[in-house]
Amino acid sequence: MKKGIYPGSFDPVTLGHLDIIKRASKLADELVVGVLINSSKKALFSFDERVELLKRVTKDMPNVTIKSFDGLLVDFAKEENADFLVRGLRAVTDFEYEIQLAHTNHKMNPDVDTVFLTTSVEFSFVSSSLVREIASYGGDISSFVPECIEQDIIDKYK
Ligand code: PNS
CA separation, residue 5 to residues 14, 63, 69, 137, 155 (Å) = 17, 12, 11, 34, 30
Q: Cα–Cα distance between 116 and 137 in angstroms, integer? A: 33
Q: Cα–Cα distance between 2 and 29 in angstroms, integer? A: 5
3 carries an active-site annotation: no
Per-residue pLDDT for 128 more than 70? yes
Read off the pLDDT of each residue in 111-121 and give the average, rounded to a whole number: 95
* pLDDT score, position 39: 67
Ligand 1 — pocket residues by CB below 6 A? Answer: 7-9, 36, 72-73, 101, 104
CA separation, residue 108 to residues 26, 28, 85, 136 (Å) = 27, 23, 14, 39
17 carries an active-site annotation: yes
**What is the reported pTM?**
0.97
Nearest Cα residue to atom 11 of ligand 1:
8
Q: One of 2, 41, 55, 59 is an active-site residue; which one?
A: 41
pLDDT above 70 covers what percent of the chain? 99
* pLDDT score, position 41: 72
Per-residue pLDDT for 104 more than 90? yes
Instruction: Report which of residues 40 and 67 the model is more confident about.
Output: 67
Read off the pLDDT of each residue in 71-96 and give the average, rounded to a whole number: 96
CA 73 – ligand 1 centroid, Å: 7
Find out whether 108 and 74 touch, Cβ atoms under 8 Å. Answer: yes
Atom of ligand 1 nearest to the CA of 10: 1
CA 155 – ligand 1 centroid, Å: 27
